[in-house]
């Protein structure tokens, strides 16, 4: 299957190049030449599933055009978060990225966990965060929609939605690419070719690859490096218009990632089981210094990955007459995940994922019909079906923990899950222009979400660590004895790979459960647009995120209890204005979120193992905040921007277990991963150096106040405030056919943390990337 797709890509490139070589006289032109500085009146967005100018949409949106993405070297998920006010990016041990938008996020490492900020490629879902890591290339723009988006984008968008819009095929022949070289021998190369294959069929092929050395070095083995990048991704787009009434678009994309997962930094010892023979060994470990490059990992289980993704998206738009359009959007995605991960930041084996593996199959079908977008009364009706099947299997070596001798020499355990999700939805959206300057709008979506989970915790009966003297099957024997004692009847010895979690009768049994939920998302609002340059809006919206089962270890089946669906009720008002003949642009919003049953990866006290991770619901929390973004254009050459976000995200009612395993009332504490203040300033200057040459410079400063990785604000898990400075300096052709520039990210080498976690006896942290600088050359014809 993959070979066929590679052959199709090669064939596409050959056809394009051959057809235009024969044409010879066909004039070439720059492809999708964007303005050098994004203008809200020029960027077209599809937040309402139809094309509109950004300033015509009564909704909080950050849209970044393809030209700005290239200039600012926005090539990763963390780069995107730095350029979107209110958006935070958090890496995880298992390479499942976490987005938090305006305080709404869900830190969960399971492959089967839906996000609170959904990601789309051209409106087609990438339903799980792990699928999104290699999407950011050859883009026309990125749209970040803020606030609940349940009406048009469905479940799992309580925080918002991110929509990547790929650059479209063009009838005129075009070719382009870029080559970057940066610190750590980081080479990134991109290329695309586009053009007409026939009078009715256009195509575009884009590829990107990134190769680099490791940027982390071992604390105990200074010559040993980690963090090397080895990835490649491609996208083939076909746009066919066989008639004036029918348009069919095909998107085939895929990626392969053999990069080394980031290693953590050890920061503290927190004993789980007193009296262990490993206590002195763990106490002697030295915390990592405040150097982002210094970390550690086991030399036996080196971090590695072999992940790949393949996706097909088919969209058809059929004009039915009288301005009515029927749209079908079909997508299928397969993802394969195979990693070795170090989660403790030590050369020891406290939490070493010998295997973090799994796969995902995702299918989605949407049908919708809409009338003429120019009508005074606009309507959209639709239905959606989605099916996701996720398998995950983890093997963990913890030979050097205090649990080792506590449970008779146990050193390895495993757990797996297979989850199937079926989601059904119908939706409608209405807009009515009461008068030319006032629009009222409303929409609703009914969703039925069914999830089936099959979960097993097991003893593999295999000693993977040759340094371990533990006997095979020790933990299974311990659980067998525990079951016999608690149940009052003899339990047969639990065998290798047999499930050992105990049910209500204290007998080992695989956990098989269902979680079926339904909900009604909605949005109502009003827009006042007295002129082309001003819109004032107010919205009330409610969205839901589906419930979730955890994939983790536990000795009782209560460890696998699901969290139920969460909801966010949003009250928001905002203004977008362009003043003084576009000298000044302002985008501001004030909002209040009523956050019910927030899903959180927290803790529970397992009566056998001690403090373990668990999923819990927070009954009530709230977010009050505002955003202000402004752009000043004092001249054609200079643009100065600034953004300020304030978030007061507070837990209003919740009692649970803290990181130390103690029951605690968390009322009044802040929601994790939610800085109270975020602000940034940027400046871009473009000036002619000659008749055919321009010079340009850009600088961005982004600051985030402190927050915490867990509830209760314990000092060990603090994420201190930090500010990052980036810059770009270069030259380009007046017609933007080529560009060359130097750039830097985090040029002050600020040390900052993105995540802190407890891994059994070790507290480990993840540091942001150190100063990075490089040079990029690009061209397009």
The continuous run of DSSP H or E covering 734 comes out as: none
Contact residues for 483 (Cβ-Cβ < 8 A; gap 6+): 491, 502, 506, 507, 508
CA 740 to chain centre: 30
For the chain, what is the radius of gyration of the CA atoms? 27
Q: Residue 95 above 90 pLDDT?
A: no
CA gap 569, 115 in Å, rounded: 17
CA gap 286, 485 in Å, rounded: 41
Taking residues 244-254, report their average pLDDT. Answer: 97
Contact residues for 21 (Cβ-Cβ < 8 A; gap 6+): none
What pLDDT is attached to residue 641?
Answer: 96
> Which 8-state DSSP code applies to residue 560?
G
Q: Which residue reads 């300057």 in tokens?
A: 437
CA gap 352, 468 in Å, rounded: 14
Q: Which two tokens stand for residue 415?
A: 């757990």
Q: Which residue reads 């925080």 in tokens?
A: 159
Interstrand relation of 753-759 and 117-121 (parallel, antiparallel or unpaired): unpaired
CA gap 147, 594 in Å, rounded: 12
Q: Looking at 407-490, list the stretches that DSSP marks H as alpha helix, in order from N- to C-terminal side.
A: 474-487
Beta strands in 107-245 (DSSP E): 117-121, 124-126, 139-146, 160-166, 174-182, 186-198, 201-212, 216-218, 225-226, 229-243
Q: Quick: pLDDT tens for 291-326.
A: 999 999 999 899 999 999 999 999 999 999 999 999
Q: What is the DSSP string of 211-275?
A: EE---EEESS-TT-EE--EEEEEEEEEEEEEEETTEEEEEEEEEEEE-PPPPPPEEEEE--SSTT
Residues 618, 626 contacting (CB under 8 angstroms):
no
> Which 8-state DSSP code applies to residue 170?
-
Q: Residue 327 above 50 pLDDT?
A: yes
Taking residues 722-750, report their average pLDDT. Answer: 97
Q: Residue 364 above 90 pLDDT?
A: yes
Q: What is the CATH number of domain 2-282+294-780?
A: 2.40.170.20
Expressed in angstroms, the distance from the first to the final Cα of the chain is: 33
Burial of 621 (0-12, 13-18, 19+ CB in 10 A): buried
Q: Which two tokens stand for residue 431?
A: 């807009």
Taking residues 576-583, report their average pLDDT. Answer: 92
Rounded to the nearest integer, the mean pLDDT of the chain is 91
Query: 127: helix, coil or strand?
Result: coil
- Considering the chain, what percentage of its residues have pLDDT values greater than 90? 81
Q: Quick: pLDDT tens for 674-696.
A: 999 999 999 999 999 999 999 99
Taking residues 365-388, report their average pLDDT. Answer: 97
When pLDDT is cut at 50, 70 and 90, the band that residue 7 belongs to is very low
What are the sequence ranges of the domains in the chain? 2-282+294-780
What pLDDT is attached to residue 470?
Answer: 59
CA gap 206, 673 in Å, rounded: 35
When pLDDT is cut at 50, 70 and 90, the band that residue 406 belongs to is confident
Q: What angle do CA 772, 119, 440 make, to 5 degrees?
A: 125
What pLDDT is attached to residue 463?
Answer: 78
When pLDDT is cut at 50, 70 and 90, the band that residue 662 belongs to is confident
Residue closest to 475 by CA, chosen among 558, 418, 358, 395? 395
**Greatest pairwise CA separation for the chain in angstroms:** 91
Q: Residue 42 above 80 pLDDT?
A: no
> Which 8-state DSSP code applies to residue 508?
B
Q: Quick: pLDDT tens for 162-193.
A: 999 999 999 999 999 999 999 999 999 999 99
Number of Cα atoms under 13 Å in the Cβ half of residue 410: 21
Residue closest to 210 by CA, chosen among 189, 235, 234, 238? 189
């Amino acid at each position: 299957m993959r070979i066929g797709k590679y052959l199709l890509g090669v064939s596409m490139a050959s056809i394009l190049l051959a057809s235009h070589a024969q044409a010879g006289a066909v004039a070439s032109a720059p492809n999708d030449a964007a303005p050098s500085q994004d203008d809200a009146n020029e960027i077209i967005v599809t937040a309402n599933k139809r094309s509109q100018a950004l300033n015509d949409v009564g909704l909080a949106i950050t849209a970044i055009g393809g030209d700005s993405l290239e200039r600012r070297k926005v090539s990763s998920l963390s780069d995107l978060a730095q350029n979107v006010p209110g958006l935070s990016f958090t890496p995880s041990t298992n390479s499942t990225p976490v987005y938090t938008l305006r305080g709404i996020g869900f830190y969960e490492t399971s492959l089967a966990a839906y996000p609170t900020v959904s990601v789309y490629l051209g409106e087609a879902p990438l339903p799980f965060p792990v699928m999104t890591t290699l999407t950011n290339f050859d883009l026309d723009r990125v749209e970040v929609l803020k606030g609940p988006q349940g009406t048009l984008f469905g479940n799992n968008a309580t925080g918002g939605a991110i929509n990547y819009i790929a650059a479209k095929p063009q009838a005129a022949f075009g070719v382009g690419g870029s080559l970057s070289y940066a610190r750590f021998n980081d080479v990134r190369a991109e290329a695309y070719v586009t053009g007409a294959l026939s009078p009715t069929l256009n195509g575009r092929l884009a590829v990107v690859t990134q190769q680099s050395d490791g940027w982390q070095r071992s604390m105990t083995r200074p010559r040993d490096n980690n963090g090397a990048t080895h990835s490649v991704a491609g996208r083939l787009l076909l746009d066919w218009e066989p008639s004036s009434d029918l348009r069919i678009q095909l998107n085939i994309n895929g990626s392969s990632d053999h990069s080394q997962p980031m290693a953590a930094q050890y920061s503290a010892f927190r004993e789980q089981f007193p009296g262990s023979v490993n206590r002195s060994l763990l106490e002697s470990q030295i915390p990592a210094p405040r150097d982002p490059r210094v970390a550690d990992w086991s030399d036996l289980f080196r971090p590695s990955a072999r992940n790949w993704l393949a996706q097909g998206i088919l969209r058809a738009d059929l004009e039915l007459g009288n301005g009515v359009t029927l749209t079908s959007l079909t997508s299928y995605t397969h993802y394969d995940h195979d990693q070795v991960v170090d989660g403790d930041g030590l050369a020891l084996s406290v939490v070493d994922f010998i295997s973090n593996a799994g796969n995902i199959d995702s299918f989605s079908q949407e049908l919708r019909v809409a009338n003429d977008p120019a009508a005074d009364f606009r309507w959209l009706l639709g239905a959606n079906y989605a099916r996701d099947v996720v398998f995950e299997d983890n093997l963990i070596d913890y030979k050097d923990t205090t649990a080792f001798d506590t449970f008779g020499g146990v050193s390895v355990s495993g757990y797996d899950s297979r989850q199937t999700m079926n989601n059904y939805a119908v939706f409608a959206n209405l807009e009515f222009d009461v008068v030319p300057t006032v629009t009222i709008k409303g929409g609703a979506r009914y969703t039925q979400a069914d999830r089936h989970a099959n979960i097993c915790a097991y003893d593999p009966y295999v000693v993977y660590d040759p340094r371990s003297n533990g006997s095979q099957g020790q933990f299974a024997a311990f659980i067998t004895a525990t079951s016999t004692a608690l149940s009052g009847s003899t339990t047969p010895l639990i065998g290798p790979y047999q499930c050992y979690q105990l049910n209500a009768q204290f007998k080992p049994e695989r956990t098989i459960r269902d979680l079926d939920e339904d909900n009604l998302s909605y949005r109502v609002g009003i827009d006042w647009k007295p002129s082309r340059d001003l819109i004032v809006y107010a919205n009330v919206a409610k969205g839901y995120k589906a419930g979730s089962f955890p994939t983790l270890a536990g000795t009782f089946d209560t460890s696998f209890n699901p969290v139920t669906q969460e909801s966010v009720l949003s009250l928001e008002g905002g203004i977008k204005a362009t003043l003084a003949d576009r000298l000044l642009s302002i985008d501001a919003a004030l909002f209040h979120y009523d956050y019910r049953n927030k899903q959180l990866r927290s803790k529970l006290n397992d009566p056998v193992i001690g403090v373990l991770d668990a999923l819990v619901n927070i009954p009530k929390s709230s977010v009050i905040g505002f955003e202000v973004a402004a752009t000043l254009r004092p001249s054609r050459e200079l643009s100065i921007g600034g953004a300020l976000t304030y978030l007061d995200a507070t837990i209003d009612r919740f009692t649970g277990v803290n990181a130390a395993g103690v029951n605690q009332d968390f009322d009044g504490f802040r929601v994790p991963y939610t800085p109270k203040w975020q602000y940034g300033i940027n400046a871009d200057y473009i000036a002619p150096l000659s008749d055919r040459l321009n010079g340009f410079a850009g600088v961005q400063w982004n600051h985030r106040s402190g927050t915490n990785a867990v509830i209760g604000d314990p000092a060990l898990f603090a994420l201190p405030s930090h500010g990052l400075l980036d810059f770009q300096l270069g030259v380009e052709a007046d017609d933007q056919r080529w560009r060359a520039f130097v750039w830097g990210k985090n040029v002050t080498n600020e040390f900052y943390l993105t995540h802190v976690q407890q891994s059994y006896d070790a507290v480990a942290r993840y540091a942001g990337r150190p100063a990075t600088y490089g040079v990029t050359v690009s061209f397009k014809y």
